[in-house]
Amino acid sequence: MNLFSVLPCLLTLALSAQPAWLTDLDAAKALALKEGKTVLVDFTGSDWCPPCKALHKNVFESAEFAAAAKKYVLVELDYPRSTPQSPELKAKNAELSKQFAITGFPTVLLIDAKSGEVFGKTVGFGGQTAKEYLEKLASFKNTPEGKAALADEQKKATERTSKSRALGAQIDAAIKAKDFQAAEKALEAIFADVTGTRRSVLFFNKARILIQIDPSAKEQATKYVDQAIEQAAGDESMTKSFKSFRDKISSGTAAPKASVDPKKGA
């Protein structure tokens, strides 16, 4: 047998193993109702949103997700910035974004096909493995208790967002007043409950704010970046970004603006 004649067949099988994504939510609900499945909807910005791209690459394109996807009818609702869309599709997706109160990308919903009710919701992507992400999806229960738990979780998320915005305003004021201690205190409050590699963003922000307030404080700012690199161990993308910023501190070309969102990297 010619080895090269087998390769196209193998490629076809690999491609066919990827789960299919619909783009019509109504059609997906009808299919899910017929097959007794849950609707999984991905609100994404396919051509501009880094966390959206990472979610697809790390989770949705994984073998683990392909196996688990059999219990879902998958829907992708895209909000691109440069990829052409028909006016009808763009308008329909915009209406669905309002209907489900989408405030950030990616947002993934689990929807009961019969009632149309949302019983699972995740916003953003923090670099979880496919296994971790699937465990989170599996933790959502399509029961009255599960829906109540989701509502409580969403309420707490809204409260955290409001708190972060208020603290962000404090940081802006501290930067204008050139008061690093006040800015650092507000940063610590924002990241109080953040753990793991995402906590590295705290130290990164300390470096960015310090160098913005006092461009001569290169030594201390570099120490903060080194702490960020240590905390981000295992995340190559974040580590690379932090090292790049450390080089900019050394050369005096560090960007002044800081990100205070713990869900975002450098």
Q: Is residue 9 part of a domain?
A: no
R_g of the chain computed on alpha carbons: 22
Q: Residue 109's domain spans which residues? A: 16-152
Q: Report how many domains make up the chain.
A: 2
106-139: string of b/e by CB count within 10 Å (b at 16+)?
bbbbbbbbeeeebbbbbbbbbbbebeebbeebee
- The answer on 22 and 135 residing in a single domain is yes
Given 152, 173, 194, which residue is the final one in a domain? 152
Q: Is residue 4 part of a domain?
A: no
Other CB atoms closer than 10 Å to residue 154's CB: what's the count?
A: 14
| Predicted pLDDT at 262 | 46
| Predicted pLDDT at 180 | 97
Residues of the chain short of pLDDT 50, as ranges, are 1, 3-4, 6-7, 9-16, 256, 258-260, 262-266
Given 152, 178, 210, which residue is the final one in a domain? 152
The domain that holds 56 is classified in CATH as 3.40.30.10
| Predicted pLDDT at 259 | 47
- The answer on 168 and 144 residing in a single domain is no
| Predicted pLDDT at 236 | 84
What does pTM read for this prediction?
0.65
Q: What SS3 string covers 144-160?
A: HHHHHHHHHHHHHHHHH
The domain that holds 194 is classified in CATH as 1.25.40
- The answer on 143 and 179 residing in a single domain is no
Q: What SS3 string covers 100-141?
A: CCCCCCCEEEEECCCCCCEEEEEECCCCCCHHHHHHHHHHCC
Given 96, 125, 152, which residue is the final one in a domain? 152
- The answer on 211 and 86 residing in a single domain is no
